[in-house]
Amino acid sequence: MPRKYGVLGAAAMLAVTLAGCAPDSGDSGGDAVNLKVWGWRQEDVAAYNKIFQSYEDAHPGVTVEYVPYKNTEYDTILKTGLTDANGPDVAQLRSYGLLQPLVAASGLVPLDDQVKELADFPKPVLDGARGENDGKVYGVPFALQTLHVIYNEKLFADHGITAPTTWADMIAAFEKLKGANVIPLASTVTDTWMLPIQHEIFGATTYGGTDYLNKMLTGGAKFTDGPWVKSLETWKGTNKYWPPQSSGVSYADAQALFTSGRAAMFPGGIWELGVFEKANPDLKMGIFNVPPAPGAAVDKTLVPGYVDGSFGVSAKSPKREAALSLVRWMASEEFGRAYSNELRQISAVPNVQPQDNLLAQALRAYQENPSPYVTYAYFSGGSPTGWDLASAAFSDYLLGRRDAAGAAGHIQRGVDQWFRPKN
Amino acid sequence: MVPAQELTVRPARRRRRQAGRTSPGWITAFCLPAFALYGLFVVVPLVTAFYYGLFRWEGTRQAGFVGFGNYREILTRYPLSEEITAALGHNVLFFVGTMAIQNTIGLGLAVLLHRNPWGKRLFQTLFSLPYLISPLIVGYIWSLLLSPTFGPINHVLRAVGLDSWARPWLGEPDVALPVLILVNAWQWIGGPLLIFGAALAGVPRELEEAAAIDGASAARTFWSVRFPLLIPAVGVITVLTFIGCFNIFDLVYALGGSDGGPGGAMDVLGLLYYRTAFQGGSNAIGESSALAMLIFVLIFGISVALERALRRREVA
């Protein structure tokens, strides 16, 4: 196997080296500056070109080029790219734990003193672009992702159901649908990365969201403590409303169950809306969040969300000033609006309202009662990451190979090896 | 009568004499490209992996020599240390299962086709066709076939009244690994079929006829005459199966994702390496290089030992 990966690795290195050797048109034209923005969204090139056009119009002599790489290979390519002046000037960065290797390798410029607009961003949003060791911000966050239960409006109307506002209403709706031979929740079990997402959607109110997170970060609470363990039980308690033989239902199966109208709801991220619309343009959708479960730590409906990523400046870029000026613009409402409208995403820039109704509803709900995506956002700065541990532990838990306390114990034991509470 | 061996040896001798006239310079020149490619794509990455594994990394920056620190780290850190043992166990089970199912059935089919050559070519081609498909595609297609919600396999089982047999094939920890072994066998059964077929064709007819005249049953003929002559082929297939089973990545990835299916029931060393290298933290390069070296030493060592042991049996 090292053989196989060795060859792959060598080929990847070669590809990166060759890409790095490509002539840089921007340097040859006197004052003209060409900024390369690397990213992982191949499907968004046209939208980014349109967005950057307005920046180019306002800044004569500057051209901005969005250079996309394959999503799954981007992190490896970017690690190498940031060690070289021929790499990106501005790079799309993953958030939280996945950002840390780049910060550790000193590949990025700290932006706290350079981009004063960041002061207006809420702290939880900046957390997504922060170096965990030095607390500095290394990117301008571009998108928020929120987690909800997405529902099929027609199926709800057909069965006389409206978006539930209490836990009892929600369970009654599930029962009604199940009785009518409609799968209430299109939940997946085999794609383990979806499990921590589903857990936040159904379990957040049981452990208490941000309040509990703050206790965890300062050492006052653990995964293994009662509220968090109980939140796993709250979530698994809904499994009688999942598809039959759910342990073999994949993410793609779950999506197909929902878009084909066989399932009435899909617990997942707001990004699914675009995917579902493409799969079934006639589908009318709504979103709601899970009301407080019996015995919940809070009495309000929580909306989990997190930062998708940010744009940072390469420390090796020879055009640092021009690159900083571009990311400053990326913190402006003009960029936020263009981003939100062109890409149909929730912009991370404060005070930018999405035009799309559901996105606007999601953002409003999140701003009113935000809740963290704990394992992904706050426990993925070391190895093993809380997110990986949770994905594996939840899979075992749903398959009956661990109980709730055992699953929580697995996560706690893993993160205890590197996590140190603040204060 | 001239022994068959003599007939084949003579032209070989002639060729060797001709080869003697070729200058060493030419031989070197023709070997060089192969050596260069082997060196560049096999030796260099191997040495590099070993070297990288001796350092601590911060992203892509070397952050100090740690000797065998990375090895200690991956062998002691929870849950990686347990995952290594579990993955190794799955590789072993996968190898044993493949030997028992794929290679036994392959041998059986080869014997059937040898005894009854009608349509031999056709069946050899049919059984070998899945070779042409990438394991990623094979895995994806089978995951669709086996899907509990949309898959035709469960649909057919329910249609014929076998409802209790319809299960989430890739979603049950106890079933997933056997399913993996079967899907893998479906793809590669042509290998043992062809190799055993060629070896069976090489068994001298006189021996089989002599056994028949002595009144040996079909089973006795197989075990006492044919099988001992198939041992070299068994050896080749065992080593190839071992390497294949310990290098497996693509098929498992397509069937169960990078986490190795339900509760990690299909997690193998290849997936574990992938996760350590591409989903690891700051020190991913150091830790994954160390893991790669461990896996390499394991596979290389066992392959050499296996080959030696089998060759000794052949000689005996």
Q: Does ipTM exceed 0.85?
A: no
The CATH architecture to which A21-144+307-363 belongs is 3-Layer(aba) Sandwich (3.40)
Q: How confident is the model at residue B5 (pLDDT cuts 50, 70, 90)?
A: very low
- Tell me which chain A residue has its CA closest to the CA of residue B277: A76
State residue B282's pLDDT score: 77
The rounded average pLDDT for each run of 10 residues, N- to C-terminus, in chain A (423 residues) is: 42 41 41 92 90 95 93 82 92 91 91 94 92 93 96 97 97 97 96 94 97 95 97 97 93 94 96 90 96 96 95 96 96 95 92 94 95 93 89 95 96 94 80
Residue B18 has pLDDT above 80, yes or no: no
- Residue span(s) of chain A under CATH 3.40.190.10 come to 21-144+307-363, 145-305+371-415
A260 touches chain B (CB under 8 A): no
Q: Are A310 and A128 in contact (CB under 8 A)?
A: yes
State residue A351's pLDDT score: 92
Q: How confident is the model at residue B6 (pLDDT cuts 50, 70, 90)?
A: very low
Region B286-308: mean pLDDT is: 92
State residue A28's pLDDT score: 39
Q: Residues A329, A334, A336, A339: what is their CA dihedral angle, to the nearest 10 degrees?
A: -100
- Total domains present in chain B: 1
Instruction: Choose among A5, A382, A414: nearest Cβ to B281.
Output: A382
A101 touches chain B (CB under 8 A): yes
Question: CA A127, CA A130: separation in Å to the nearest integer?
Answer: 5
Region B240-254: mean pLDDT is: 94
Q: What is the CA radius of gyration of chain A?
A: 22
Q: Residues B110, B113, B114, B117: what is their CA dihedral angle, to the nearest 10 degrees?
A: -160
Instruction: Choose among A4, A249, A383: nearest Cβ to B149.
Output: A249
At B116, the amino acid letter reads: N
| Intra-chain end-to-end CA distance of chain B, in Å | 28
From A125's Cα to the closest Cα of chain B, the distance in A is: 22
Residue B253 has pLDDT above 90, yes or no: yes
pLDDT in tens, B99-148: 999 999 999 999 999 988 888 899 999 999 998 999 999 999 999 999 98
Contacts of B205 (CB under 8 A, 6+ apart): none
A408-419 burial, b if ≥16 CB within 10 A, otherwise e? bbbbbbbbeeeb
Task: State the number of CA atoms in the 13 A half-sphere of A408 facing the CB.
Answer: 18
State residue A23's pLDDT score: 38
At A193, the amino acid letter reads: W
State residue A158's pLDDT score: 97
Q: By 3-state DSSP, what share of chain B in percent is helix, strand and coil, each rounded to 5?
A: 80, 5, 20
- Of the candidates A171, A177, A159, the one whose C-alpha atom is nearest the C-alpha of residue A202 is A171
Taking an 8 Å cut-off on Cβ atoms, the answer to whether A2 and B45 are in contact is yes
Three-state SS at A39: strand
Topology of A145-305+371-415 in CATH? D-Maltodextrin-Binding Protein; domain 2 (3.40.190)
- Tell me which chain B residue has its CA closest to the CA of residue A395: B263
Contacts of A298 (CB under 8 A, 6+ apart): A205, A208, A209, A211, A292
Question: CA B271, CA A73: separation in Å to the nearest integer?
Answer: 16
Report chain A residues whose CB lies below 8 A from the CB of B171: 189-190, 245-249
A5 touches chain B (CB under 8 A): yes
- Read off the CATH number of the domain in which B213 is found: 1.10.3720.10
pLDDT in tens, B143-196: 999 998 889 999 999 999 998 899 999 999 999 999 999 999 999 999 999 999
Taking an 8 Å cut-off on Cβ atoms, the answer to whether B170 and A388 are in contact is no
pLDDT in tens, B19-46: 557 788 899 999 999 999 999 999 999 9
- H/E stretch holding A68 reads strand A62-68
A79 touches chain B (CB under 8 A): yes
Task: State the number of CA atoms in the 13 A half-sphere of A290 facing the CB.
Answer: 33
Q: Which residue has the tokens 């596979």?
A: B299
From B26's Cα to the closest Cα of chain A, the distance in A is: 28
Let me know the angle formed at the C-alpha of A170 by A278 and A150, rounded to the nearest 5 degrees.
15
Instruction: Choose among B42, B59, B77: nearest Cβ to A6.
Output: B42
pLDDT in tens, B49-74: 999 999 998 777 788 999 999 999 99
Q: Which two tokens stand for residue A89?
A: 């000037």
Strands A140-152 and A303-313 turn out to be antiparallel
Is residue B131 situated within a structural domain? yes
Residue B13 has pLDDT above 60, yes or no: no
Q: Are A310 and A142 in contact (CB under 8 A)?
A: yes
- Of the candidates B72, B49, B92, the one whose C-alpha atom is nearest the C-alpha of residue B273 is B49
Question: CA A18, CA A27: separation in Å to the nearest integer?
Answer: 18
Strands A140-152 and A285-288 turn out to be antiparallel
Taking an 8 Å cut-off on Cβ atoms, the answer to whether A104 and B282 are in contact is yes
Q: B300 lies in which domain range?
A: 78-315
Q: Which two tokens stand for residue B43?
A: 């030796």
A166-205 burial, b if ≥16 CB within 10 A, otherwise e? ebeebbebbebbeeeebbbbbbbbbbbbbbbbbbbbbbbb
Is residue B8 situated within a structural domain? no
- Tell me which chain A residue has its CA closest to the CA of residue B281: A383
Report chain B residues whose CB lies below 8 A from the CB of A75: 278
Q: Of chain A residues 335-354, which have a CB less than 8 A from chain B?
A: none
- Biggest alpha carbon distance in chain B? 76
- Tell me which chain B residue has its CA closest to the CA of residue A13: B45
From A40's Cα to the closest Cα of chain B, the distance in A is: 15
Residue B1 has pLDDT above 70, yes or no: no
State residue B159's pLDDT score: 92
At B88, the amino acid letter reads: L
A400 touches chain B (CB under 8 A): no
From B74's Cα to the closest Cα of chain A, the distance in A is: 11
- Tell me which chain B residue has its CA closest to the CA of residue A385: B281
Strands A370-371 and A183-185 turn out to be unpaired
Contacts of B243 (CB under 8 A, 6+ apart): B299, B303
Question: CA A235, CA A202: separation in Å to the nearest integer?
Answer: 5
Q: Are A2 and B46 in contact (CB under 8 A)?
A: yes
Is residue A92 left, alpha or beta, with left meaning phi > 0 and alpha meaning psi from -120 to 50? beta
- Tell me which chain B residue has its CA closest to the CA of residue A183: B149
